[in-house]
Chain A
Amino acid sequence: MSEQLREGLSALVDGETDEREAARLLDQLTRDAELKAAWERYHLMSDVLRNNPPLVSGEDLVERVRHSIDTEPVMFRPRPPRAAALKPLAGFALAASIAVVAVVGFRAVVGPSGEGNELAELAADTPEQSQPRGMRWDVDRPGVEERLNTYLVNHSEHTARGMLPYARVVAYNANR
């Protein structure tokens, strides 16, 4: 696998490619077995690095992955849980994560008013550039966003058939 591909894949996982490049790499992922294997390794490694319980059980697998972290070229190692200095906007990470907690649909949908609302107000005060990337309604008003989130989840409950529509729920405003 070429260096360039590795680099591309790494950027893809970190959400640092443009849309066309993302589409191209994904397309390649379906055709290139080696690239695909690297992709899967990457996610296993991410899980281990972040101390998430790996999805595939078995101690030896975790060991194997730990080993591959050691042997994988540095370029392709997943970044450890991101340190605040990595990105220009990372200084706003804390504010952004508060916005995430406050505005993500579920608390808004099911929670009683209170803490969530205060956080929402706080989120409303955060500068625009601190808004996290990710799936969000493109409105800057927490009250409206909360309303739309309520509707989004309710609409999905009525129309989602099968599991895949829930991909949108899992992806909603992923921590980035």
Chain B
Amino acid sequence: MPTDKTAGARSGGLLWRLVSVLTLILLSLAAYAAESSQVARQWLTKMGEASRALTYEGTFVYRQGTQLETMRIIHRMGADGERERLVSMNGVAREVLRDKTGVTCILPDNHSVVVDKSGRNGLLPGPFNDYPEGLDDYYTFSFAGDDRVADRPARIIEIKPRDEYRYGYRLWLDEKTKLLLKSELLDDGGKVLEQILFTSMNLPDAISDEMLEPAVSGEGFSWFTSDGSGTPVETEGVDWEVAWLPEGFTLTSQEADPLPKRLAPVQHMLFTDGLASVSLYIEGLAADKEQFEGFSQIGAMNAYGVVVDNYQVTVVGEVPKVTVDRVGAAVRRR
């Protein structure tokens, strides 16, 4: 039956063409998504660079729940390197100052000044600057539209975790400079846990030394200085191990930190997937110290405590509750 055969061949051809067109569409969609993901990550790298290399000043709101704090940030890249000043605009003028020598926190409500000269944290690369390649396995990166923040055109980048062990982020980057204008930290239900929102962002040609000086001299305050020198611990000497970590988390530092008010240095292990991080603290439990067992939280930061063999084990991190819970439960003495 020639007619049927032709019709069959024709429909077969149509079907084949339809399939190939669909395949093409899917392939190009996948390619587009991959490219978009790559470009989104390039924007994040540029954001890190811009936040260090540019001179800017801006006012932003930090929100956590109904808690609201307005702050001003002043950042200068100049002959004396990078200098930064962060100051609260609500109530007492708490300030954090950073330069290449370290971090200084001025806390007028405590009448204290805290200086950390460890330099460890001095002026590290900006966020998202040195994340590992494998991050794509644990998060998806994409553009999520355009917006205006602080009178500047911005692009939204969405970072979604692929499992329930990490938080997600939504970041608004300035089209022109790639500076961060707004950010949201999200739980797995999409609820905003913490928010930073710039109400103004300026890039003046110059910022005077005066603007980078604290408003409060700190005279008459108690000064606390720590060089923050942690002693690296030989891996062989460590008798603790963590039997479970979310995929992608690796041990990045291990130290015995001489924390104040502790008789012996506290063992500290830091794990990160490149974006999120979890700290594990272990210290001998002195008889007079209160034990901490169970959960606590502050903003998006979760903590889980457990006592193992008369040691206080505490897991702290900007990760969901389930993560600190599972990590804490997996800590064992060798």
Contacts and interface: CB of A to CB of B under 8 A. Distances in A.
Given A26-B63, A100-B109, A169-B96, A150 B261 contact: yes
B281 A19 contact: no
Given A134-B67, A151-B279, A57 B210 contact: yes
A18 B292 CA distance: 31
Interface residues of B, number: 96
Given A104-B110, A107-B112, A157-B116, A141 B290 contact: yes
Interface string B133-173: 00000000000000111110000000000000000000000
B150 A30 contact: yes
Interface in B44-69: 48, 51-52, 59-69
Given A55-B89, A161-B129, A144 B290 contact: yes
B195 to A, nearest CB: 7
Q: DSSP majority for the B interface?
A: strand
Interface in B112-145: 112, 114, 116, 118, 120-121, 124-127, 129
A39 B90 CA distance: 12
Interface string A24-53: 001001110100100110010011001011
Interface of A: 12-13, 15, 17-19, 22-23, 26, 29-31, 33, 36, 39-40, 43, 46-47, 50, 52-53, 55, 57, 100-101, 104, 106-113, 133-139, 141, 143-144, 146-148, 150-152, 154-155, 157-164, 166-171, 174-176
Interface of B: 48, 51-52, 59-73, 75, 84, 86-96, 98, 103, 105, 107, 109-110, 112, 114, 116, 118, 120-121, 124-127, 129, 147-151, 180, 182-183, 192, 195-197, 199-200, 210-211, 215, 222, 224, 226, 228, 253, 257, 259-262, 268, 270, 272, 277, 279, 281, 289-290, 292, 296-299, 301, 303, 305, 312, 314, 316-318
18 contacts: A15-B66, A23-B192, A47-B89, A53-B93, A104-B107, A106-B107, A109-B114, A110-B226, A135-B298, A147-B289, A147-B290, A152-B298, A157-B228, A162-B126, A163-B86, A170-B71, A170-B94, A174-B69
